[in-house]
Amino acid sequence: MSTALRFDNFIWLSLPSLFSHLVAVFIVACWAWKVVSGIKLELWFFGGWLPFSLPQSMWFFAGMGALPVHN
């Protein structure tokens, strides 16, 4: 058998075993996109809700009673 045929057989016989890996990569990519999109939405919705940002710090200290909150 020639080298080209052996390589061809190797590729075609490897595809079924690679299919599950490709499906797993696709699922992880979809999940990662959902997480990244959710973080972007959360950051937009809360007006820049980043760790140690000014709005978060004010919210934290107001909740702790360290800042006066006027009703």
Distance CA 8, CA 64 (A): 68
The pTM is what?
0.39
pLDDT over threshold 70, residue 34: yes
pLDDT class of 22 with cuts at 50, 70, 90: confident
| 59 class by beta-carbon count within 10 Å (0-12 exposed, 13-18 middle, 19+ buried) | middle
Distance CA 28, CA 7 (A): 30
pLDDT at 25 exceeding the cut of 70: yes
User: How many Å apart are CA 18 and CA 24, to the nearest integer?
Assistant: 10
